Chain A
Amino acid sequence: GDSVTQMEGPVTLSEEAFLTINCTYTATGYPSLFWYVQYPGEGLQLLLKATKADDKGSNKGFEATYRKETTSFHLEKGSVQVSDSAVYFCALSDRQGAQKLVFGQGTRLTINP
């Protein structure tokens, strides 16, 4: 079945550092790809998405590009802030049918001032 593999955490960075969280996927079709973020004590929030190959999703300074050739959707941010500390989940979904999400295991990110 479809699956998502994320970079192992936790990840600890200093403020203003460059962030990359790796995500690769396995899917039989052509899924849509997502990054969700979970702040402490809160629900999952959609951070960004891309629905086809070479699309770039972006939001709040975060970016990820749908790379079909490498089956990857790595999350990047040029300069992280303390407020970016959270757990980040990569996910995929069929574009038709149930559109249920398949998540990676999550990567905990801590940003130190």
Chain B
Amino acid sequence: DTGVSQNPRHKITKRGQNVTFRCDPISEHNRLYWYRQTLGQGPEFLTYFQNEAQLEKSRLLSDRFSAERPKGSFSTLEIQRTEQGDSAMYLCASSLVETALGYTFGSGTRLTVV
């Protein structure tokens, strides 16, 4: 197992375009989290899944954001009508519910909206 994989590593898009990011968690992990990290700040929680169910969404996740985890495996995060304020690093992490807080983070997708 190679850990949590995120694609693409970098994405540059024009304002108003839609973008989609993918996260492949560690295969046996049943929890998957999305965080957003802006320059000079710590990551902020966006949403999480347990298996295929999305159990919590942060108020940071506006209507333009949607996340899915079909079949409880990989997850996608889509941002519609991107704005310059969406420019950030988007981090994915996975864990086992049964493990005491054993998150594994991916390397992230850096989004730049121009």
Contact = CB atoms under 8 A, between A and B. Distances in A.
A73 interface: no
Nearest to B46: A100
B91 interface: yes
Given A51-B100, A100-B56, A102-B45, A43 B40 contact: no
Contact of A105 (B41, B48, B101, B108): B41
Nearest to A106: B42
Given A32-B101, A43-B91, A95-B101, A101 B107 contact: no
A100 B106 contact: no
Nearest to A94: B101
Interface residues of B, number: 24
A44 B101 contact: no
Interface string B29-55: 001010100001111110010000001
Contacts of A99: 31, 95, 101
Nearest to B3: A43
Contact of A49 (B55, B93, B101): B101
Interface string A23-64: 000000000101010000011111001010000000000000
B44 A103 contact: yes
Contact of B40 (A32, A91, A103, A105): A105
A1 to B, nearest CB: 11
A49 to B, nearest CB: 7
B107 A43 contact: yes
A88 to B, nearest CB: 10
Given A44-B91, A51-B100, A99-B95, A105 B42 contact: yes
B106 to A, nearest CB: 6
Interface of B: 4, 31, 33, 35, 40-45, 48, 55-56, 91, 93, 95, 100-103, 105-108
7 contacts: A36-B105, A43-B4, A43-B107, A43-B108, A44-B93, A44-B105, A89-B42
Given A43-B107, A93-B101, A103-B43, 20 more contacts: A4-B42, A34-B101, A42-B107, A43-B91, A43-B106, A44-B93, A46-B102, A51-B101, A89-B42, A95-B101, A98-B56, A99-B31, A100-B33, A100-B48, A101-B45, A101-B103, A102-B45, A103-B42, A105-B40, A106-B42
